[in-house]
């Protein structure tokens, strides 16, 4: 990773201003002094979140050339960027499709859908754009925070459950699922479902996750197979199994 030298001797101070809450001022100051934020700008990534996927992939070797990848909650595009880089196979364009209800600036090598993943039409559109079934489903989705920890946890867990359901319905045998969750316990039913459908399931906290953050990632590796799932293997433009 480049940009390490940029961290030396630089401390940004945000002045107190009328109309700006002290908590907001401290957050902005912390953000501007975050070495991952500086590094993401130097390396050309859309956000510091790119390094979370990089660190997880460096450890678990998930992304491989030629893989088909679905990125749920893609904005602003950091995970799509990393997925394209790590799945590109020679001159062949990689198969990476991202979806978010927020607009995402174009990323060479990726298809971006501007729609809500909770829309009933989203799964079909994702598979059509991908041209086959995914090797990996990634989800960095999190519900907008309310400030009430329990409420935020429940809302993000709902997104985690919907993403997991999509993964089990669409993944190729041997595929992987990676999703954001929060400390405070993964719902028992979800964890049981993943353990039933994947060879291994465990929590991961990459170094790029901020200290003190309740954020965790749930990694389910090696999908056991498609028995009983509702989406047919021939769904999608390519009809590839």
Q: Judge whether 71 is annotated as a binding position.
A: no
Question: Which residue in the block uniquely carries the two structure tokens 């030298």?
Answer: 5
Return the ∠ at Cα 112 (arms to 154 and 34), rounded to 5°. Answer: 60
Catalytic residue among 15, 41, 52, 180: 180
Q: What does the block give as tokens for 137?
A: 């489903």
Q: Judge whether 79 is annotated as a binding position.
A: yes
Closest CA to 45 of 6, 87, 83: 83
Rounded to whole angstroms, how far apart are CA atoms 60 and 91?
Answer: 25
Q: Judge whether 116 is annotated as a binding position.
A: yes
Closest CA to 157 of 182, 136, 140, 178: 182
Q: Is 195 annotated in the active site?
A: no
Q: Judge whether 77 is annotated as a binding position.
A: yes
Residue 190's φ and ψ, nearest 5 degrees, are -65, -45
Binding site for S-adenosyl-L-methionine: which residues? 77, 79, 100, 116, 140
* Residues assigned a catalytic role: 180
Binding site: which residues? 77, 79, 100, 116, 140
């Amino acid at each position: 990773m480049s940009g390490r030298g940029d961290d030396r001797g630089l401390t940004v101070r945000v002045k107190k201003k009328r109309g700006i809450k002290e908590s907001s001022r401290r957050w902005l100051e912390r953000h501007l002094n975050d070495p991952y934020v500086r590094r993401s700008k130097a390396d050309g990534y859309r956000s510091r979140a790119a390094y979370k996927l990089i660190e997880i992939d460096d450890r678990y070797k998930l992304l491989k050339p030629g893989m088909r990848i679905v990125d749920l909650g893609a904005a602003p595009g950091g995970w799509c960027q990393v997925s394209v880089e790590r799945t590109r196979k020679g001159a062949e364009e990689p198969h990476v499709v991202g979806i978010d209800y927020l607009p995402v600036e174009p990323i060479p090598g990726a298809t971006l859908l501007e729609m809500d993943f909770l829309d009933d039409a989203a799964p079909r559109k994702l598979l059509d754009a991908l041209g086959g079934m995914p090797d990996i489903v990634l989800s960095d989705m999190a519900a907008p925070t309310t400030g009430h920890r329990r409420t935020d946890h429940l809302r993000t867990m709902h997104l985690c459950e919907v993403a997991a359901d999509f993964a089990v319905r669409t993944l190729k045998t041997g595929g992987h699922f990676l999703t954001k969750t929060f400390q405070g316990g993964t719902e028992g039913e979800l964890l049981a479902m993943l353990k039933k459908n994947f060879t291994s399931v465990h929590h991961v906290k990459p170094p790029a996750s901020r200290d003190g953050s309740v954020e965790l990632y749930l990694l389910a590796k090696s999908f056991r197979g498609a028995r009983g799932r509702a989406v047919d293997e021939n769904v999608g433009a390519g009809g590839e199994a």
